[in-house]
């Protein structure tokens, strides 16, 4: 068995808010992926000039940043999707970005889910809906997902979680995505 290449894990942050707790949670999860040997990248959508899907009739007319984003996700072996719970679902920003992509970027990829919420129920609805999205894109969504309730109180000023147990659970999502992507990438 030969392992193809170093595993590449990208994280897509479904909040554009300055000081986003989703962004912090994804950073923690990517630390777990790095500990497993992955090359990692947190995609901050504020750095991309995107357009709504269907605005152009031909994908080749998409602005360069859409192609850049799609190429990164296509190249990734593992994808972490991070979202806040918004009105009992995942964020519109994340939906907007997912709808710019499809099987080319997601099929047979390993997905890990990370959610945050303002309330005490956690991002349970957002995560459940993202699991359905992952399945419809023929990706393997790992069983373990992590949700951080009361997110505004959960992190310190440096973006670290106060709770060491929760830190480990968030890291575990990145670790498991890397481990399973590594298995997928083994070739005879």
Ligand X SMILES: Cc1cc2nc3c(=O)[nH]c(=O)nc-3n(C[C@H](O)[C@H](O)[C@H](O)COP(=O)(O)O)c2cc1C
**Positions that interact with ligand X (CB under 6 A):** 15, 17, 20-22, 84-88, 116-119, 121, 151-152
Q: Find residue 114's DSSP bridge partners.
A: 82, 146
Structural contact between residues 114 and 12, judged by C-beta atoms closer than 8 angstroms: no
Taking the least distance from each CB to ligand X, the nearer of 37 and 88 is: 88
Q: Residue 50 and residue 44: Cα distance in Å, rounded?
A: 12
Least distance to ligand X from the beta carbon of 125, Å?
7
Taking the least distance from each CB to ligand X, the nearer of 7 and 116 is: 116
Least distance to ligand X from the beta carbon of 7, Å?
26
Taking the least distance from each CB to ligand X, the nearer of 45 and 180 is: 45
Taking the least distance from each CB to ligand X, the nearer of 3 and 121 is: 121
Taking the least distance from each CB to ligand X, the nearer of 87 and 187 is: 87
Structural contact between residues 10 and 81, judged by C-beta atoms closer than 8 angstroms: no
Least distance to ligand X from the beta carbon of 186, Å?
35
Least distance to ligand X from the beta carbon of 83, Å?
8
Least distance to ligand X from the beta carbon of 93, Å?
10
Taking the least distance from each CB to ligand X, the nearer of 148 and 181 is: 148
Q: How many residues appear in the chain?
A: 188
Least distance to ligand X from the beta carbon of 97, Å?
15
Q: Residue 128 and residue 134: Cα distance in Å, rounded?
A: 10
């Amino acid at each position: 068995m030969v392992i193809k290449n170093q595993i590449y894990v990208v994280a897509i942050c479904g909040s554009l808010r300055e000081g986003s707790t989703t962004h912090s949670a994804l950073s923690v999860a990517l630390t777990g992926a790095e500990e497993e040997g992955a090359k990692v990248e947190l995609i901050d959508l504020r750095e991309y000039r995107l357009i709504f899907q269907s605005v152009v009739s031909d994908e080749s007319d998409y602005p360069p940043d859409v192609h850049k984003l799609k190429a990164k996700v296509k190249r990734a072996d593992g994808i972490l999707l991070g979202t806040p719970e918004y009105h009992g679902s995942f964020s519109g920003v994340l939906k907007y970005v997912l709808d710019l992509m499809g099987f080319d970027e997601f099929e047979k990829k390993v997905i890990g889910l990370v959610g945050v919420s303002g309330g005490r129920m956690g991002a349970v609805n957002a995560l459940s809906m993202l699991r359905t999205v992952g399945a419809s894109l023929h990706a393997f969504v790992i069983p373990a997902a992590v949700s951080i309730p009361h997110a505004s109180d959960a992190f310190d000023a440096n973006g670290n979680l106060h709770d060491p147990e929760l830190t480990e659970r968030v890291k575990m999502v990145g670790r498991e995505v890397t481990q399973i992507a590594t298995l997928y990438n083994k070739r005879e």
